[in-house]
Chains A and B, each alone.
Chain A
């Protein structure tokens, strides 16, 4: 598949994978490997002092995957900036998936706080990939402050409901000067394919892989979905019509 570039770094895979909610680290690693992804997201949380867990990072081959820390849990720009700086202090590349989600029920991104945090983090030298509502005007504002991608949502996080924001994402893709990564809500390979057919540069999935009996197989399925959608976009989809247009010749029928 054709490569794509974020902030000067080139990737062969257009599928990014989140590492949350897997039944085991083995299942997570299997999903990552089979999906062919090169970027994986991780979160930052307090250590449970009374019950320290085995480190997630010991399961992730950092020579193979770019670690993309998110700022999940942040409700304000200030909290997001704090989390991003902590991730950088942990020795990560200064890349961050910026998430500011004050509403615990739908986890919808706060456009105002996201824009504020993006501006601060870009000035601080971060490569910022903001999770955002599928709002073309906001995408432009985020571009103006220097984000590396925009990441509009297909549907709320973890809902597996697909590309509910399709028409708005189409506008974002039409106008974007940075890669468009559809994040959140994609629950099936067909959803990923649909986003890619529309011209998205990449997609990010997590729940769809973690919430299945066979994460490795689902990883392969999404890989194929993303590749199919990308190839179809590059080839150019045929126009839709309201009336039938015969595929077979309309002459030479065996009739009197």
Chain B
């Protein structure tokens, strides 16, 4: 399936959940905020939300700022 992650298309051989995607990308759950197709996805829904071809995700984190 193809996902748009932070504006870039990426291909994956299989389908999986949001939690599994974060795991594959090496992003610790809980530190990253996920927006799926412009809707915020609460952390407790990461493992129960399947991803499908064409989904668009924003993966956001805190950085230094004033």
A residues adjacent to B (C-beta < 8 A): 18-22, 28, 41-47, 49, 52-53, 55-57, 67, 69-70, 72, 85-87, 89-91, 157-158, 184, 204, 206-207
Q: Does B59 interact with chain A (Cβ within 8 Å)?
A: yes
Contacts A47-B6, A86-B35 given: A21-B64 contact, CB under 8 Å? Answer: yes
Q: Does B40 interact with chain A (Cβ within 8 Å)?
A: yes
Q: Which residue of A lies closest to B61 (CB)?
A: A47
Q: Looking at A67, A87, A90, A207, which has the most chain B CB atoms within 10 Å of its CB?
A: A90
Main secondary structure of the interface of A (DSSP, over half): mixed
Q: Does B1 interact with chain A (Cβ within 8 Å)?
A: no
Complex Cα distance, B63 from A70, in Å, reads 10
Q: Does B9 interact with chain A (Cβ within 8 Å)?
A: no
Query: CB distance A46 to B65 under 8 Å?
Result: no
Nearest CB of A to B42, in Å = 6
Contacts A49-B6, A52-B26 given: A90-B66 contact, CB under 8 Å? Answer: no
Nearest CB of B to A217, in Å = 20
**Please, could you name 28 A-B residue pairs with CB atoms under 8 Å apart, sorted by A?**
A18-B65, A19-B65, A19-B66, A20-B64, A43-B64, A43-B65, A44-B33, A45-B60, A45-B63, A46-B7, A46-B60, A47-B59, A47-B61, A49-B8, A52-B25, A52-B26, A55-B61, A56-B61, A57-B31, A57-B62, A86-B60, A87-B62, A89-B40, A90-B60, A90-B62, A91-B43, A158-B66, A206-B66
